[in-house]
Structure 1
């Protein structure tokens, strides 16, 4: 299983790059995400964007491989990142965003044991926290058909189901604005 960290967003609402941002007393968000996946995965891949790629590579060092979305889907969202990972040969992915600073390895371990699932906590779906198998052809066809939404890809193309877990909802807070940190 390959861990895939989504770190290529533009962070428009956040105001600065979320992937490289560090909460006081914590490592950069992308470093935390990589560390969460390392005990569970044989390899971790981080999908960056051209603006943060070098800084992310410096932050994660040799703990993860840093890649970009493939052309012509550069900056087209998480499904483009999944395509990039599948082009490198990844078939089974454990997906994680970089902006859940309270997320634990234990919650990811539960998800890692349940393929073809995305997490659901307190009635809220977390599509960027998913475990699935796919291939390059499936992802390429989805994107070429004009589809971009991750939830539609997971549910429509892969038929993933929610994995309901009992956990503290604070662990699943996605920080999209610095004022919420």
Structure 2
């Protein structure tokens, strides 16, 4: 199983790169924290970066067994679906455990719950978190991804519905994100 870390967004509302954000509560960047979590349950990790953060992510990820990629050119910049497609093309026939970079308190135990299902995504209190998924890559899944991307049907939830992904309940306190670095220090602080 390959861990896939979606870190290719431009973090415009966050006003700085989320992957490289140093979180004092974790005493690590969100990238380091996510890689540590994924490495507990996967063989290796694939980081999907963008052209602005690619070099910094490669440098920061050196201690981990990772591959850093940018979206494949034909679907570059089309959001999480293009990142998943890039990883799926790189690792055909593999299982991918996917998470977005901005879930700093997600645990490896919670992520592992997803792996008991062929295709699954996280939910908490009926709120879906589509960017936390477990996918089994096969020809049919790749074809659906390619069609959605070619048609600019980019909603991750719509894609997961097409592949009959199952919702898996995870703890609410692990599933919050933020678009403001100041609220990172105060909002939903589990410490």
* Pairwise same-fold verdict (TM > 0.5): yes
Kindly state the Cα deviation for residue 101 of structure 1 after the two structures are TM-superposed: 0.9
Q: For residues 61-92 of structure 1, what are the alpha-carbon distances to aligned partners after superposition, in whole Å with 9 as ceiling and x for unaligned?
A: 14211000011221110110011111212432
2:121 alignment partner in structure 1: 118
Aligned residue pairs total 178
Contact 1:34-1:63 within 8 A present in 2 as well: no
Q: Which residue of structure 2 lines up, in the alignment, with residue 42 of structure 1?
A: 43
Q: Distance in 1 between matches of 2:84 and 2:5?
A: 10
Counterparts of 1:177 and 1:6 in 2: how far apart (Å)?
Answer: 18
Q: What is the Cα deviation at residue 17 of structure 1?
A: 0.5
Cα deviation for residue 111 of structure 1 reads: 1.5
| CA-to-aligned-CA distance 1:24-77 (integer Å, 9 cap, x gap) | 152111111111111211221000000000101111114211000011221110
2:189 match: none
Which residue of structure 2 aligns with residue 143 of structure 1?
149
Q: How far is 1:172 from its partner?
A: 1.0
Instruction: Name the counterpart of 2:159.
Output: 153
Alpha-carbon distance between aligned partners in 2 of 1:35 and 1:115, rounded to the nearest angstrom: 23
Residue 136 of structure 2 is aligned to residue 133 of structure 1: yes
Match of 1:72, SS? helix
CA distance in 1, matches of 2:127, 2:96: 21
Counterpart residue number, 2:91? 89
Deviation at 1:175, TM superposition (A): 2.1
Q: TM-score, normalised by structure 1?
A: 0.92
Match 1:164 to one of 161, 169, 179: 169
Gaps of 5+ in 1: none
